[in-house]
Amino acid sequence: MATSSLTAAERPALKITALPLADAAKAMSSAYGQLVTEQQVREVAERGGLLRPDGTVNLIEYAAYLVREMAHGTD
C-alpha cells in the first residue's frame, strides 16, 4: 500500500456523512475484513437510493440500509 507524503494536518478530513465511494469501499473492507469494491458500494447505494449527486454516500445511512436488507432477507 502506498503511503501519502501529506501530513495528517494536510490531508482532507473524511466525513462519514459525505464519503466518496472509493473511501466507503475502503472503510467497508476494513470493517468487514474482506475486499469490498467501489462497484459493490455503488450498486448498493444506487439500489437503496443512497447515492448523492456529488457521488458520495452517508456511511450511517448506508449501514442502516444494509441492516434493513438483512432483516428482510435480501442480499
Q: How confident is the model at residue 1 (pLDDT cuts 50, 70, 90)?
A: very low
Cell for 50?
A: 443512497
Full domain range(s) for residue 38: 19-71
Does a structural domain hold residue 39? yes
Tell me the three state secondary structure of residue 69: helix
Residue 4 lies in a domain: no
pLDDT digits (tens, 9 = 90+) for 13-63: 789 999 999 999 999 999 989 999 999 999 999 999 999 999 999 999 999
Question: How many structural domains does the chain have?
Answer: 1
Three-state SS at 21: helix
- φ, ψ of residue 33 in degrees (nearest 5): 80, 10
C-alpha to C-alpha distance for 17 and 39, rounded to whole angstroms: 19
In a domain, 14, yes or no: no
pTM above 0.85, yes or no: no
In a domain, 7, yes or no: no
